[in-house]
Structure 1
Amino acid sequence: MKKFIIAAFVALLTSAAMAQSKPNVLFIAVDDLNAWVGHLGANPQAKTPNIDRLAKRGVTFTRAYCAAPVCNPSRAALMSGLRPGATGVYDNSEPWQPVISKDKTLTTQFLGAGYEVFGAGKIYHSSAHRPGEWSDYLAGENRTAKETAHPTAKNDGVGGIKFQPLTDDSTLSDEGIVDYGIQHLGKKHDKPFFLAVGVHKPHMPWNVPKKYYDRFPLETIKLPAGYREDDLKDVPPAGVKLAKPQGDHAQMLESGRWKEAIQGYLAAISYCDEQIGRLLDAYDKSPEKENTIIVFWGDHGWHLGEKSHWRKFALWEEAVRAPFIWVAPGVTKPGGVCDRTVDFMSIFPTLCDLTGIARPAHVEGSNLRTLLANPKAAWSTPAITTYGQNNHTVRDANWRYIRYANGDEELYDEIKDPYEFTNLASKPELANVKAELAKWLPKINKPAAKGGARDKDEEY
């Protein structure tokens, strides 16, 4: 009996030690952040010292793309491992819960593997989360608490593009969300943990304290380098329909406040960056630092007038590209830069690999471990993005190919034409290029999931 008790005790200690040896995960999501971060160089006006210092610690992907250029489907795809066409979740009004079962989600895999799973802020759309898939989730967000317009604010923006400076004593919900992350990073955990922190800014409204606006004097603001007045002339009708040039862009031109809007977006990014800095400082002090993976991602990009378009809701580079950074102790090395084309469907399978969790059979996407260990490794898988049923884009190192549901096409040479000014889809000599890229188009394109209530975020 004594031997049995000793053996059981040893087994218990061994099991606990094995659990603690599993790497933790700090999972950082940012809303509506395009490639306007310092280390990516997409806009030299941007100031993101904290995101840049995170990039220096591991591997940053310079060509990383979302599964969908809309909050709800992008996040549902990333968190389930199922592309939009596999679920029918293409837009914000199509609920993911009825079509994605609990057993398929990323957090459920971690719970099943013995992890504590914590979350705060916007991980799924509108901070939605389902009971039973988290150990704890921060409740009671109030996005408008303690926000006061600064006396210098003219109004709340131009049409649907919302921005204004706030008084410097204003507080936003992101601060409480990051506080939650800091609290859990500072604890000693008995089990490995998965900690998800979803920062809202730079999602509209770009209402942040005026001190962030002051970092970008209006007289220094430049319009996007990727803007050309006649850029839609060779875009087919399906693409022009997404651009809606007579909507936000026409209003912005009429208002004369385009540079003010850019200032607002840059200010909101700067505010976001400061929150990321707070989180990194806590990570550095964490007792689990040496055994904690960081994955940092934005849910999609954002247009600020390129192709006469504003917001996301399109399949061009600005709408689908976002920052993507990994720090994986024992795998990544500081200062890694990977130029391979990847998409965020890779997050689920890569986290499973790095943590020793079995990859569920349903999970789509490619495991990035090879690129994390060697950012220059060979890679032939393109990035795929979907917006609406049967509207897709395929992006590899050289080309972007877009095919819409009605058969309209766009093709851009990303080496010679990084701003996608010239649509080459009608060139007979490039038919083989289109055909090769078309092989990657998703084969499953389910009808849109039965819609739920529309929310104001859908318009942003």
Structure 2
Amino acid sequence: MQAMENKNYRIAFGLMLLAIAAAMHPSLAQNTKYNVLFIAVDDMNDWVGPFGGYPGIKTPNIDKLAKKGVVFKKAYCSAPACNPSRASLLTGVRPSSSGVYHNNQPWRPVLKDAVTIPQYFTANGYEVKGAGKIFHNAFNDKASWPSYFGIPKSPEPPQAPVNGFAHFDWSPVNVQDEDMGDYKVVNEGVGFLNDKHEKPFFLAVGFTRPHLPWYVPQKYFDQYPLSSIKLPETVANDLQDVPDAGVKIAKPKGDHKFILEHKQWEKAVQGYLASITFADGQIGRLLDALEKSEYAKNTVIVFFGDHGWHLGEKEHWRKFALWEEASRVPFIVYAPGLSKENGVSERTVNLMDIYPTLTELCELPAKKGVEGHSIVPLLKNPAAAWSHHSITTHGFGNHAVRSEKFRYIRYNDGSEELYDHDADPQEWKNLAGDAKYAAVKSELAKSLPAINAKDAPTVKEGKE
């Protein structure tokens, strides 16, 4: 009898402790697994505070997130274009394995059986919602979203283009933040975080800016007076030692020629900076909502740009290249109670690593066939041993291999580039023809993809 009373007492006491814990941390009562806040930003390069790409950039909200989690200084995209980058990281299938290399190649027809990250989380009991640009605009995947809020159109100047041509343009717009599409997308995310959720959740929020055209409210342009604009570091004849395949990609007689002839370089940089700071403000609204919610202590945050962006480096604009500016991305991960606070990692990681990282963090069964590596060890110890190079692919048979010291590019025609980032971070001197680097090239070439899938079918839509 006494033993039974002691047992009942222990059960009652245990239930009381659980009730107290649940009252103090409501999310613990509902979700024993991590929630996920998945933040994708379009065309954002390393010109944000934690990555040091532009001195004086104003990104206080991204800076704040960086202090909470781990900043990956050498993170790279799988492809320097929206569609292949997003399709690959969300399916776990590399561009070289799928044949989806460009923005005008629908990915689902060639990856019929692929299970995307949101699909996998749904199948494993998560409540899943998407808002904004997660997949490439033209090829959003309805099968991935039990709940999805699309991409509202943002205001444009009455007489566009203003400074550029077509959508390659930049100008203030006489509107409020509330009128912008990204603001409305964040509203969806904020509303979701304010709701009660009985199951763990996966919330994906995608930002359009700083994608072209760079139209944001005037107040963001005012933060970067033209007189204070710093142009990227460049050298004359930078493409002189680049193979023809690389020059063809750069298209120096296209955007860059227009910029120089019309004296738009400072204005274009101003537009890009203004768009980044606008995006940072909206990212801040979303992060603040999480911080104020009951889920703050149990939610993983993954923040990334889908690829980099050139603003005149190598006489090139936009993404669509295999150099550092086009392939390096901002990447920050925060896992409560696990990731190192104020962590900075110099290991070469890739956006392909997101899928296996999230499944491990959320204790889901490992997804078979995923072509990435979990970075959970680097979240715990950013300086941990890491044996993986980062691979970026642009078009059939064109790849870049990034180690912590070198970038090695091999084009489909066999031509090469090699840059020593310790001595030449701007990639001004191509060392590929120097015989003393033959062993370096040979070692890096071992990481080139073994498979080069044929090009997936193309459509007219979705080129940008």
The 1-side partners of 2:242 and 2:138 are apart by 35
Corresponding residue for residue 420 of structure 1:
427
The 2-side partners of 1:248 and 1:270 are apart by 24
Detail structure 1 runs of 4+ shifted over 6 Å in the superposition.
Answer: 16-19
The 2-side partners of 1:18 and 1:358 are apart by 23
2:46 to 24, 35, 40: 35
The 2-side partners of 1:404 and 1:154 are apart by 35
Q: TM-score, normalised by structure 1?
A: 0.92
The 2-side partners of 1:154 and 1:288 are apart by 43
Q: In the alignment, is the contact (CA less than 8 A) between 1:157 and 1:164 conserved in 2?
A: no
Whether 1:193 and 2:204 are equivalent positions in the alignment is: no
Whether 1:165 and 2:165 are equivalent positions in the alignment is: no
What is the Cα deviation at residue 229 of structure 1? 2.1
Q: In the alignment, is the contact (CA less than 8 A) between 1:117 and 1:135 conserved in 2?
A: yes
* 1:264-413 mapped onto 2 (5 Å cutoff): 264-413=271-420
Q: In the alignment, is the contact (CA less than 8 A) between 1:24 and 1:194 conserved in 2?
A: yes
**1:372-425 CA distances to partner (integer Å, 9 max, x unpaired)?**
000011112111000001100000111000000000100000100000000000
Corresponding residue for residue 212 of structure 1:
220
Corresponding residue for residue 122 of structure 1:
133
**1:291-324 CA distances to partner (integer Å, 9 max, x unpaired)?**
1000001000000000000000000000001100
1:446 to 426, 438, 453: 453
Using the aligned pairs only, state the percent identity. Answer: 52
The 2-side partners of 1:200 and 1:269 are apart by 10
Corresponding residue for residue 77 of structure 1:
88
The 2-side partners of 1:133 and 1:154 are apart by 35
Change (3 A) 1:71 1:231: same
The 2-side partners of 1:341 and 1:103 are apart by 26
Which amino acid is 2:220 matched to? Answer: Y
1:249 to 245, 256, 262: 256
SS at match of 2:452: coil
Corresponding residue for residue 19 of structure 2:
none
Corresponding residue for residue 236 of structure 2:
229
What is the Cα deviation at residue 454 of structure 1? 2.5
1:137 to 141, 148, 151: 148
Q: In the alignment, is the contact (CA less than 8 A) between 1:93 and 1:451 conserved in 2?
A: yes
What is the Cα deviation at residue 104 of structure 1? 2.0
Q: In the alignment, is the contact (CA less than 8 A) between 1:32 and 1:302 conserved in 2?
A: yes
What is the Cα deviation at residue 154 of structure 1? 8.7
SS at match of 1:435: helix
**Higher alpha-carbon deviation: 247-256 or 128-137:** 128-137
Corresponding residue for residue 175 of structure 1:
183
The 2-side partners of 1:199 and 1:288 are apart by 22
The 2-side partners of 1:339 and 1:420 are apart by 18
**Higher alpha-carbon deviation: 333-342 or 67-76:** 333-342
Corresponding residue for residue 67 of structure 1:
78
Q: TM-score, normalised by structure 2?
A: 0.91
The 2-side partners of 1:405 and 1:19 are apart by 52
What is the Cα deviation at residue 101 of structure 1? 2.9
Change (3 A) 1:451 1:348: same
Which amino acid is 2:180 matched to? Answer: L
The 1-side partners of 2:161 and 2:115 are apart by 47
The 1-side partners of 2:386 and 2:357 are apart by 15
Whether 1:21 and 2:32 are equivalent positions in the alignment is: yes
Q: In the alignment, is the contact (CA less than 8 A) between 2:167 and 2:212 conserved in 1?
A: no
What is the Cα deviation at residue 286 of structure 1? 1.2
**Higher alpha-carbon deviation: 117-126 or 170-179:** 170-179
Q: In the alignment, is the contact (CA less than 8 A) between 1:229 and 1:308 conserved in 2?
A: no
What is the Cα deviation at residue 63 of structure 1? 0.7
SS at match of 1:195: strand
Change (3 A) 1:246 1:240: same
Which amino acid is 2:38 matched to? Answer: F
Corresponding residue for residue 210 of structure 2:
202
SS at match of 1:329: coil
Corresponding residue for residue 4 of structure 1:
none
Corresponding residue for residue 119 of structure 2:
108
Q: In the alignment, is the contact (CA less than 8 A) between 1:156 and 1:163 conserved in 2?
A: yes
Give the unaligned 5+ runs of structure 2.
Answer: 1-14, 16-26
The 1-side partners of 2:456 and 2:227 are apart by 47
Give the unaligned 5+ runs of structure 1.
Answer: 1-9, 11-15
The 2-side partners of 1:333 and 1:250 are apart by 45
Which amino acid is 2:310 matched to? Answer: H
The 2-side partners of 1:445 and 1:389 are apart by 7
Q: In the alignment, is the contact (CA less than 8 A) between 1:121 and 1:127 conserved in 2?
A: no
What is the Cα deviation at residue 157 of structure 1? 2.2
